[in-house]
Structure 1
Amino acid sequence: MQRFTGRRVLITGAGSGIGRATTYRLLAEGAAVVAVDVNEAGLRGTAEHAADSGTVERLTTAVLDISDEQSVRTQVAAAVQALGGLDVLVNAAGILRSSHTHETGLEFWNTLVKVNLTGTFLMTREALPALLASGSGVVVNFSSTSASFAHPYMAAYAATKGGIQSFTHAIAQEYSKQGLRAVCVAPGSIDSGMTNNPGLPADADFSLLAKLAPALGAGFAGPETVAGVIAMLASEDGAFITGTEIRIDGGTHM
């Protein structure tokens, strides 16, 4: 499929996991992509794969800390200039940390909020003028199944993802008459790298986590599973989907 030929895309968190898989998928479907990540080595790996697949001529990479307001302003402006506009923003960057809530320090809380929630806000705010100018802009944000279902030891993380869902609903309505669509993906039971080391407390009660196993298949799915859904949502195939979240968890939370 070439659903993204001529479309201009900015993807955060593109140096690993779902962000990297989404970069590969949209490049394969014809997009011109600016891929950003805080991890320069990860971005090099993404670019190397694009070179091997013959899509690197449509890829630009840049190091970006999405929680830094001035850096976001600078890099989003540079991305829009490099692409000649912007059609799709994919806010895949985020961090996962766990702790007993009664032991959660303010710095721990603030770091999760700053990266996950504030970072999503900053990227979206700076990209909105270009997305609205396109007449059919799409924002794909990353929530999580933890925003709607109980994930023990992840209260701070879940709060940021719930905030992202609410933020997405609000902007979907606010800019609907200007042609913008805003949607969330809510992954769960995905082997994304981030989930391999969630930093659970040493004394975590794993019986509380037993219900988090997927119903489909033999275990967690790969990040390309989510990338495929993002490709659908951000293309014309998703043209009547906005202001909602799509749960991708293999039936974990049926």
Structure 2
Amino acid sequence: MTSLFDLTGRTALITGSSRGIGNALARALADAGATVVLNGMDADRLKAAETSLSADFPPGRIHSCAFDVTKDAEVGRAVAWVEENVGPLEILVNNAGIQHRVAMLDLDVEDWERVITTDLTSAFLVGRAAARFMIPRGRGKIINICSVQADLARPTIAPYIAAKGGLRNLTRAMTAEWAASGLQINAIAPGYIHTDMTQNLVDDEQFNSWILGRTPAHRWGTVQDLAGPAVWLASSGSDFVNGQTIFIDGGMTVVV
């Protein structure tokens, strides 16, 4: 690990990281030297994730903090806990998110609001709480996890599309207000990533064929494909990169 991408001594909080993409990003940052704080709502699953990841790193490198990213008071207490008990928070990855598949004509307002709150408002809440500590220190990295749906649309996932599009612009808004204080705020927009949660889509022959045909790289992405860009955006190697959304999609969004 060269010094440009070395995260040793830096504390990172990754929301929604007890499994899936968030957990993979937590491992990537820890591999680069960061001290990592996992987050989730399910305390038992979160503790199991902490125990599993801790087995591969020195003692004290992996922590966890269970809190609801949609509750402002909980978020404030959690970020303060990280600062007091783990270390100065220098890296935040806003990864927490949910999906809800229903046609818009049949979509309940409550489900719309639940997705928007979890996928968009949470990034505002956690990002703001983190920035309140980062700004006085004059440094910090915030990485928002968007999606190709920040640029594309598919039927039945309207709230997710709206949330991810909003998150892309929230990244720009954070940059407009906080970049002068030494923060870099960027986003990663994954394409279709093969995880346990998307295995049913991979197993769907028709959908899988559509993905392979629609993606110039002719494959699904993997969580490992996201590791390098995440480490880069969290590191000193990206100190003049700000307000950008990096699409990691095998070329899906650049072809008709």
Asked if TM exceeds 0.5, the reply is yes
TM-score by length of 1: 0.89
1:175 is paired with a residue whose SS is helix
Q: Does the aligned pair in 2 maintain the 1:34–1:61 contact within 8 Å? A: yes
Residue 38 (1) aligns with residue 41 (2): yes
Q: Does the aligned pair in 2 maintain the 1:135–1:179 contact within 8 Å? A: yes
2:251 is paired with a residue whose SS is coil
TM-score by length of 2: 0.88
Rounded to whole Å, the distance in 2 between the matches of 1:41 and 1:215 is 40
> Please, which of 143, 146, 149 is the counterpart of residue 149 of structure 2?
146
Counterpart residue number, 1:190: 193
Alignment of 1:225-236 (within 5 A): 225-236=225-236
**Structure 1 179/17 Cα, relative in aligned 2: closer, same or farther at 3 Å?**
same
Name which of structure 1's ranges 188-197 and 139-148 shifts more when overlaid on structure 2.
188-197
Rounded to whole Å, the distance in 1 between the matches of 2:61 and 2:99 is 30
Counterpart residue number, 1:214: 215
Aligned partner of 2:176: which letter? Answer: Q
Q: Does the aligned pair in 1 maintain the 2:186–2:244 contact within 8 Å? A: yes
**Structure 1 237/244 Cα, relative in aligned 2: closer, same or farther at 3 Å?**
same
1:23 is paired with a residue whose SS is helix
Q: Does the aligned pair in 2 maintain the 1:186–1:246 contact within 8 Å? A: yes
The superposition leaves residues 25-73 of structure 1 with CA deviations (integer Å, 9 ceiling, x where unpaired) of 1111111122111122332332233232124521110111111222111
Rounded to whole Å, the distance in 1 between the matches of 2:50 and 2:140 is 25
Counterpart residue number, 1:137: 140
RMSD: 2.0
Name which of structure 1's ranges 219-228 and 141-150 shifts more when overlaid on structure 2.
219-228
* Runs of at least 5 residues in structure 2 that lack an aligned partner in the other structure: none
**Structure 1 149/250 Cα, relative in aligned 2: closer, same or farther at 3 Å?**
same
Alignment of 1:42-53 (within 5 A): 42-53=45-56
Q: Does the aligned pair in 2 maintain the 1:28–1:55 contact within 8 Å? A: no
Counterpart residue number, 1:76: 79
Using the TM superposition, give the Cα deviation of residue 228 of structure 1 relative to its aligned residue in structure 2, in angstroms: 2.1
Using the TM superposition, give the Cα deviation of residue 155 of structure 1 relative to its aligned residue in structure 2, in angstroms: 1.2
Report the number of matched residues. 245
* Runs of at least 5 residues in structure 1 that lack an aligned partner in the other structure: 199-205
Using the TM superposition, give the Cα deviation of residue 197 of structure 1 relative to its aligned residue in structure 2, in angstroms: 5.9
Aligned partner of 1:246: which letter? Answer: I
Q: Does the aligned pair in 2 maintain the 1:47–1:56 contact within 8 Å? A: no
Counterpart residue number, 2:246: 246
Rounded to whole Å, the distance in 2 between the matches of 1:117 and 1:128 is 16
**Structure 1 223/169 Cα, relative in aligned 2: closer, same or farther at 3 Å?**
same
**Structure 1 239/82 Cα, relative in aligned 2: closer, same or farther at 3 Å?**
same
Identity of aligned residues (%): 31
Using the TM superposition, give the Cα deviation of residue 111 of structure 1 relative to its aligned residue in structure 2, in angstroms: 0.6
Counterpart residue number, 1:203: none
Alignment of 1:82-231 (within 5 A): 82-196=85-199, 210=210, 213-217=214-218, 219-231=219-231
Using the TM superposition, give the Cα deviation of residue 151 of structure 1 relative to its aligned residue in structure 2, in angstroms: 2.0
**Structure 1 227/134 Cα, relative in aligned 2: closer, same or farther at 3 Å?**
farther
Q: Does the aligned pair in 2 maintain the 1:189–1:252 contact within 8 Å? A: no
Using the TM superposition, give the Cα deviation of residue 196 of structure 1 relative to its aligned residue in structure 2, in angstroms: 4.2
**Structure 1 228/39 Cα, relative in aligned 2: closer, same or farther at 3 Å?**
farther
Counterpart residue number, 1:202: none
